[in-house]
Amino acid sequence: MYRVAVIPGDGIGPEVIDGAVRVLKAVTGRVRFEYYEGGVDVFQECGSPIREEDLEEIRRSDAVLFGATTTPFDLPGYRSLILTLRKELGLYANLRIIPDLRTGREIVIVRENSEGLYFGIGAVVNGRAVDVRLITREGAERIARFAVEQAKARGSFITFVHKANVLTGDKFFRRIVREVAGEEGVEVRDAIIDSFTIKLVRNPWEHGVILSENLFGDILSDLATVHAGSIGIVPSGNYGDGIALFEPVHGSAPDIAGKGIANPIGAILSGAMLLDYLGLDGSLIRAAVRGYVVNGELTPDMGGRARTEDVVRGIIGEIEDL
């Protein structure tokens, strides 16, 4: 049995994770699901968004399925649960797959998740604020290797998005990406971040595996979700050397929480990525989702009138028919 730690979170997190777990149970009996709390309530109780003893158990799991949590702007000392987990579990690679559910095309984005401007060195001194943008050889090599594996698995190439015409860190990063990809015979195409945003809007499906540092990758991957029709259907994986965490890219969506209309497809496709990671093959789930969207009613974010429950049942029905 594989052990999967499930952290539903709050807002629509529990609503979509419930759907994802039911779909996973419909395709495999080889996973045991263990549930954990996390977020603001836990922080108020113990000063961390996740309990230390839970974190120890989560580290011993084979993978994590995460929903979403609300992060208040004004809670002193609070760092969001997902950022805490990425750091604590050493999850340096973020893979976002933006699907076009009707044609099967995808935008694949690999974002460096641990360095860049989000490393967390910043200070305000004498009226000057400074944030350090850290790029290390080790960090660049491991994310380049990750992107190379993704490109090879897809018989594709890498588009490395950067500002190497200006930034020292990106010149350094670019050289390392080319070294690593060159050893593996994977082609690397250059794209400069500012003009690349236009390409990502106009012809999003033509860039192979898009690789970038933390901030650029964050912005590009949110922008790219527009091509999926709704942020609610986009899955992601966070990978490290020990464990991996899978989550829909959306947040806790307080505006629709509790109404039973959240789109569960991002969480369900995250479950498919989780199965791939465990070696259990998520393609059955992807086929069921594709089968469902052809004729099935979708949730309001996709212009339909379905409820979360209708979509989950419909996808499970497709699995039973496949």
Q: Give contact residues for ligand NAI (rule: CB under 6 A).
A: 12, 16, 68-71, 82, 231-232, 247, 250-256, 262-263, 266, 299, 301
The smaller minimum CB distance to ligand NAI, of residues 56 and 255, is found at 255
The smaller minimum CB distance to ligand NAI, of residues 73 and 104, is found at 73
- Residue 321 annotated as catalytic: no
- Residue 74 annotated as catalytic: no
- Residue 222 annotated as catalytic: yes
Strands (E), the chain: 2-9, 31-35, 63-68, 93-99, 106-112, 122-125, 128-131, 158-162, 188-192, 209-212, 235-239, 244-248
The smaller minimum CB distance to Mg ion, of residues 37 and 222, is found at 222
What does the DSSP assignment read for 160-227? EEE-TTT-HHHHHHHHHHHHHHHHTT--EEEEEHHHHHHHHHHSGGGSSEEEE-HHHHHHHHHHHGGG
Q: Which of 10, 18, 54, 218 is catalytic?
A: 218
Distance from C-alpha of 202 to C-alpha of 13, rounded to nearest angstrom: 32
Distance from C-alpha of 92 to C-alpha of 138, rounded to nearest angstrom: 11
- Residue 152 annotated as catalytic: no
Instruction: Determine whether the annotation assigns residue 174 to a binding site.
Output: no
Residue 164 has phi, psi (to 5 degrees) of -70, -15
Name the minimum Å distance from CB 84 to ligand NAI. Answer: 11
The smaller minimum CB distance to Mg ion, of residues 111 and 142, is found at 111
And the tokens for 158? Answer: 């890498």
CB atoms within 10 A of CB 193: 20
Instruction: Determine whether the annotation assigns residue 218 to a binding site.
Output: yes
Q: Which of 25, 41, 194, 241 is catalytic?
A: 194
- Residue 199 annotated as catalytic: no
According to CB under 5 A, which residues from 194 to 253 bind Mg ion?
218, 222
Instruction: Determine whether the annotation assigns residue 321 to a binding site.
Output: no
Name the minimum Å distance from CB 213 to Mg ion. Answer: 14
Binding residue numbers for Mn(2+): 194, 218, 222
Binding residue numbers for D-threo-isocitrate: 80, 86, 96, 111, 118, 163
Annotated catalytic sites, by residue?
A: 118, 163, 194, 218, 222
